[in-house]
Structure 1
Amino acid sequence: MKNLLSLAGIVLLIWLLPGWTLAQAPKGGTGLAGTWKGPLAVPGGAQPIQITVQEATAGRPTAELLLPVKKMARYPMTVTLRGDSVEFFAATAECRFTCRRSVDGSELRGKWRQTGFKAPLTLVRATAAGAEAPEGTDPTTAPLFVSTYRTEPVKLASGPEKIALGGSLTIPDGDGPFPAVVLLSDLGMQDRDATVGHYRLFGGLANYLSRYGIAVLRLDDRGVGQSGGSTATTTTADRVQDAQAGLAYLRTQSSIDPAHIGLIGHGEGGNVALLAAGQPLAPNFVITLAASGLMGQELLARQPEPVNPADTAQAGVARRKMKREILVQAEKLRASGSNAAQIETYLGQQQLKMRNEDRKQAEAMLKFRRSMLEIVKQTPGNDQAQAIVVNMLRQRYPDENPAVLRTRAVDFTSPWNRSFVRFDPRLELGKVQCPVLLLQGTDDIEVEAEPNLAALEKGLKNNKKLTVRRLLGVNHQFQAPAAQLLASADGQKSEPIIAPAMLEAVRDWVSQQAK
């Protein structure tokens, strides 16, 4: 199953084909309404493509991309008319189809483009009977509504100190009122889009939900972008206040349905959402994306340890050297008369040895980080705690710059770190009575699915409106599994994209709460 997703920011040239033009559109529309289908040639085969176009507003069509081979994954699309060409753009999937329509209106012919890949594509207008529908669903109730939306800048104040928070509110076009959500970011300094390189978890999620009739408020973290305050001094309790401020803002908006306002939190943001749900003026529902069920100290201990690039390179060289030595020894065994089974046994033993060594190193690192965090927890004075942490880091990384070690020790003793190291996400779960959806990726190495979901489910055992879903092959950033990415012309996989399984799960569940 391939995914047609890749990096944002693609600049396209309109590809015009001689002899093709837009067919005469019926009065009050563009003539594009209907379902268009065809195969997209990709390395190793072809991808079935289906685009359904609706004339939601005269002259302003919207569309939905359907990928049948991807378990009927759906992506909202914009439709832009430029002279005699048409451009379909799926922002969440970051792919474009620029085309012209045949004179008889039966075909759309043009180019499909995304980062590292482009190919000609012809779509044929399908009959109603030929249109696909998700397996197990009634075609008459399948989610075909794809809205356009508008984005409004937001400025609000949070907590007793009236910390200014800047953000964006995306609102579907139409009469409303609409269900709405506030997005809460993971730990660290996050902007409103939760940007990591070219990947924008919250930017993509907001775009997707708003095209399906759900308003989305996303905010810059304190000390980031247009928000005041300081990330270094922000605690989990402060973040709960920020979530409550977001809810309060949405309740004042005439376009928002006050009975259907929820919180969606990623990582630590999921725990913040659950804390807010246990307090007065709680949200109407909560969705967590990889929330932690373990103690804050244990979660922090399991985070990847920042390592000097030189150390990483040195470790890589040592590992490659070890592999070469294994292959050389295997060749010697072969030359001395060992048979294939004996060589295979030797290689298997060496691979097992390497895996055991990796496991020992991971366990040693976990023990090391637990020890540092325990020092921070038991030592109230920052100067004393930082001195001990610096000494521990110096012993483990003797070649590291002393200034870098000092900076890391300061980070370990920040107000947020000190509060989170004592944080128990289970304590307030008994107070959460609103509907809750827990989503967790099975390939998450930062917040492992099984121990964390087990702890959260236990804490929420009295909540009669709890739903739990494990998303196969999805990591902590809720990116699609590598196997679902489309290969580029050189055979390489495209950049990470948001997992369709998560997008659809969130959309369907929020829509269900609004019924």
Structure 2
Amino acid sequence: MRQIDMTATADDGLELAGTLALPDGPGPHPAVLVLQGSGPVDRDSKVGRIRLGLGPELAEMLARHGIASLRYDRRGVGATPGDWLASGFTDNVADADAALRALGARPEVRADMIGVVGHSEGAVHAMRLGASTRVGAIVLLAGFAQPGEESLRWQGRHLVRNLPKPLRPLVRRIALWHLARIKATTTDVARLGGRRLNARWHRELLAHDPRADLVAIDAPVLAITGDKDVQVDPDDLDEIARLVPGEVEVRRIPDLTHVLRRDPGKPTVRNYGRQLKRPVDAELLEDVAAWLGGRLGTAETGVDTTGHRSA
């Protein structure tokens, strides 16, 4: 695998810094845009000291299957300028679209064979790209399929269940107060509980309903969620299967958690630290790369990122 730095110009002119990973051999290659989960995430799936590892590990696996990939630093993270706290959910969607266009313009890439892989929030952005831009294949890793507020409330209920019983009522009250305060904000950034919060991102996420995008997707879809996920409802896979009008495959992976590692123990975020000491599940990465290779590498009709079908 060969990796080179590249940038994608966002709609407002900001330069999104990223890494284009290319497989061995002459191009142009099929390619995939990798979209990360929530937070100030860099191209290598790091949030501060937390290292998810999805970006580089997936890039390596895709390269083994002859597929190039692009991953990038979010606004205000890594080498990308800007203010992460002031960026909204819709900004992230627009930036993903800009990165997709930049990937399709690279001479090393087949513009008619481009897919998208999204994890968590990135999966929801992938749904929007699949509905608004012609792509060749979409992989949704732990993507929710309910309105944002409903999904966030589901997550909150499951996180509270892992707390000691005496604490649960207090934490529920605090969470509901916090949610109400966020919904009442009007600025990009607000101070809640003594800390600055990306308020606009939260408001836009709460109001977002991915179902409108799912019914408009015109590409094969692979949706994967672990049955130990406590941040996204695994039952949303059924909704994805119901709503996507074309080819769709859903997989509910035993023991897989939201951080894409398998854990036979009780599902709880308190085990993330231990899980993140291990790589992303290798079988998951292999399955994703093989599925994408089958859709992007053998398709008789590709699609380009200008939104037009190509023969």
Q: TM-score, normalised by structure 2?
A: 0.82
Q: Does 1:153 align with 2:5?
A: yes
Q: How many residue pairs get matched?
A: 283
1:187 corresponds, among 13, 32, 38, to 38
Which of 468, 488, 499 pairs up with 2:281? 499
Q: Give the structure 2 partner of residue 400 of structure 1.
A: none
Please report how far the alpha carbon of residue 233 of structure 1 lies from its aligned counterpart in structure 2 after TM superposition: 1.9
Q: What residue number does 1:229 align with? A: 82
**Letter of the structure 1 residue corresponding to residue 146 of structure 2:** L
d(CA) in 2 for partners of 1:211 and 1:171? 10
Quick one: which amino acid aligns to residue 88 of structure 2? T
> In structure 2, what is the equivalent of residue 25 of structure 1?
none
Q: Structure with the greater relative contact order (CA < 8 A, sep ≥ 6): 1 or 2?
A: 2
Partner of 1:469: helix, strand, or coil? Answer: strand
Change over 3 Å in CA distance of 1:260–1:362 after alignment to 2: farther
When normalised by structure 1's length, the TM-score is 0.51
Please say which structure displays the higher CA radius of gyration.
1
Q: Deviations over 1:99-145 (max 9, x none)?
A: xxxxxxxxxxxxxxxxxxxxxxxxxxxxxxxxxxxxxxxxxxxxxxx
Task: Verify: 1:288 aligned to 2:140, yes or no.
Answer: yes
Specify whether residues 493 and 272 from structure 1 end up closer, same or farther in structure 2 by C-alpha distance, changes over 3 A only.
Answer: closer
Q: Matches of 1:262 and 1:247 in 2, distance apart?
A: 9
- C-alpha displacement of 1:297: 2.0
- 1:447 is displaced (CA, Å) by 1.0
Does structure 1 residue 468 correspond to structure 2 residue 250? Answer: yes
User: Is residue 406 from structure 1 mapped to residue 191 from structure 2 by the alignment?
Assistant: no
Q: CA deviation at 1:303?
A: 5.1
Structure 2 residue 3 is matched with structure 1 residue 162: no
Residue 38 of structure 2: SS of its match in structure 1? coil
Corresponding position of 1:244: 97
Give the letter for the 2:242 counterpart. K
* SS of match in other structure, 2:212: coil
Kindly state the Cα deviation for residue 199 of structure 1 after the two structures are TM-superposed: 4.2
**Superposed CA offset, 1:381-409 (max 9, x none):** 569x86xxx5xxxxxxxxxxxxxx210xx
User: In the alignment, which residue of structure 2 is the partner of 1:370?
Assistant: 176
Counterpart amino acid of residue 376 in structure 1: I
1:421 aligns to what? 206
Q: Identify if the C-alpha distance between structure 1 residues 225 and 380 changes in structure 2 by more than 3 Å, giving closer, same or farther.
A: closer
User: Map of 1:452-463 to 2, 5 A cutoff?
Assistant: 452-460=236-244, 463=245
**Cα distance in 2 for residues equivalent to 1:458 and 1:360:** 39
Distance (Å, rounded) in 2 between the aligned partners of 1:504 and 1:300: 30
Read off the aligned partner of 1:153 and give its amino acid letter: D
8 Å CA contact 1:265, 1:288 repeated in 2: yes
Which runs of structure 1 show a deviation greater than 6 angstroms over 4 or more consecutive aligned residues? Answer: none
**Range with greater deviation from structure 2 (264-273 or 286-295):** 286-295
Match of 2:231 among 442, 446, 451: 446
Contact 1:482 1:493 in 2 (8 A): no
Q: Distance in 2 between matches of 1:456 and 1:368?
A: 32
| Residue 464 of structure 1, CA deviation | 2.0
Q: Which one-letter code corresponds to 2:241 in the other structure?
A: E
Q: Is the 8 A contact 1:297 1:370 kept in 2?
A: no
Gaps spanning 5+ residues in structure 1: where?
1-148, 306-354, 391-404, 484-491
Q: In 2, are the aligned partners of 1:195 and 1:201 still within 8 Å (CA)? A: no
Which of 63, 67, 90 matches 1:210?
63
Using the TM superposition, give the Cα deviation of residue 217 of structure 1 relative to its aligned residue in structure 2, in angstroms: 0.4
Contact 2:18–2:72 (8 Å) recurs in 1: yes
Identical-pair percentage = 29
* Partner of residue 298 from structure 1, selected from 139, 146, 150: 150
Residue number in structure 2 paired with 1:268: 121
CA distance in structure 2 between the aligned counterparts of 1:288 and 1:158, rounded to whole angstroms: 23
